[in-house]
């Protein structure tokens, strides 16, 4: 004779769709998404990026159209990345300081047309340098920390003056958050947020992004002397602690899905807004799996984004933002 089955059956609440929705612990909405967009020169230009199927570079007028689309979809914020013309890339990345560069023109155009949408701007020199590194390099090819920070401050002030809402330093130089925060305060940009790329790993998942901003063929060597070793977790907490102490309003973990343990540890340790970047390689893998018939694209998109929210993300930067928003709004 069988013993009585336990009174608690966890499958009871999974029996019907209404019940599954009622008991769902993690909520994902369009308001949790930040949409990364790539800017190119010209007018009326759309340049598809082969390694990122479904993603294009847009001229400024196209970026404005995407901002209007984001507003309609309920996506609160755009992240902008320029593909600087080769003729303007120099070893010192001085185009980053040009108040009429691609980034600044796009910021102003969006703010003129769709002021309700937030703008997050990347602060690093790799879209502007002839060597593809995030900072200034010495004769041996080593990225110089303090000299780079000086340029990043100018870049941050340039973007803030154009109307950026969130400055997001992705360079991983030591001490840059405090220096940028002080400069923003001194220039009267007291309400401009800083989202620090606090735990940015030297990852193999960035390849398509480098295609998108035109730096892949330029990069000499790698970025392991300033981006984090992917084997390290405790070090990420040290990085986050430093950036928060220096004035970061929020922090980012990059990449996303392979680093959910880091997201969780940061959230549990500091209790601050944590964002993840579902990077270009992650996006490309989902698209490749869907194209091969190995999995359902819509299901993969939503499951991976919910996983990041479940791990503790306040929001997610994802190239699937518009597609995900349409699914969630349906």
Q: Could you list the active site residues?
A: 200, 254
Q: How far is the C-alpha of 202 from the C-alpha of 170, rounded, in Å?
A: 12
Tell me the three state secondary structure of residue 282. helix
CB neighbour list of residue 182: distance below 8 Å, 6 or more residues apart? 247
Residue 84's closest CA among 36, 30, 33, 42?
A: 42
Distance CA 270, CA 29 (A): 24
On whether the CB atoms of residues 121 and 77 are closer than 8 A, the answer is no
Residue 139 preceded by cis peptide, ω within 30: no
- For CA atoms 243, 150, 190, 123, the dihedral sign is negative
Q: E strands along 11-102, which residues?
A: 33-39, 46-48, 56-58, 77-82
Whole-number Å distance between alpha carbons of 23 and 300: 21
> Scanning the structure block, which residue is given the tokens 């969780």?
264
**Sign of CA pseudo-dihedral 275, 281, 287, 288:** negative
> The tokens of 51 are what?
């390694």
Q: How far apart are the first and last CA of the chain?
A: 50
The Cα angle at residue 28 between residues 20 and 228, in degrees rounded to 5: 125
What size, in residues, is the chain?
330
Fill in the DSSP letter of residue 90: B
Assign 278 to helix, strand or coil. Answer: strand
């Amino acid at each position: 004779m069988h013993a009585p089955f336990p009174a608690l059956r966890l499958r009871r609440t999974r029996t019907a769709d209404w019940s599954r929705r009622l008991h769902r612990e993690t909520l994902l909405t369009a308001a949790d998404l930040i949409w990364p967009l790539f800017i190119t020169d010209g007018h009326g230009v759309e340049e598809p990026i082969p390694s990122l199927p479904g993603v294009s570079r847009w001229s400024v007028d196209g970026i404005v159209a995407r901002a209007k689309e984001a507003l309609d979809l309920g996506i609160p914020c755009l992240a902008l990345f320029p593909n600087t013309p080769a003729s303007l890339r120099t070893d010192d990345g001085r185009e980053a300081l040009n108040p009429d560069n691609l980034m600044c023109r796009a910021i102003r155009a969006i703010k003129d047309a769709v002021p309700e949408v937030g703008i997050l701007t990347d602060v690093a020199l790799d879209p502007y340098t002839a060597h593809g590194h995030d900072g200034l390099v010495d004769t041996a090819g080593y990225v110089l920390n303090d000299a780079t920070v000086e340029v990043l401050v100018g870049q941050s002030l340039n973007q803030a003056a154009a109307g950026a809402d969130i400055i997001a330093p992705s360079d991983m130089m030591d001490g840059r958050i405090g220096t940028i925060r002080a400069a923003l305060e001194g220039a009267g940009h007291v309400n401009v947020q800083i989202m620090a790329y606090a735990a940015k790993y030297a990852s193999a998942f960035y390849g398509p992004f480098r295609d998108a901003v035109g730096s892949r063929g330029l990069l000499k060597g790698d970025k392991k002397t300033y981006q984090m070793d992917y084997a390290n977790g405790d070090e990420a907490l040290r990085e986050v602690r430093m950036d928060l102490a220096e004035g970061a309003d929020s922090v980012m973990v990059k990449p996303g899905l392979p680093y959910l343990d880091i997201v969780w540890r940061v959230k549990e340790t500091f209790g601050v807004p944590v964002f993840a970047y579902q990077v270009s390689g992650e996006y490309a893998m989902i698209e490749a799996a869907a194209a091969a018939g190995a999995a359902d694209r819509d299901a993969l998109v939503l499951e991976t984004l919910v996983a990041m929210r479940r791990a503790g993300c306040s929001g997610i930067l994802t190239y699937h933002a518009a597609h995900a928003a349409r699914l969630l709004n349906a």
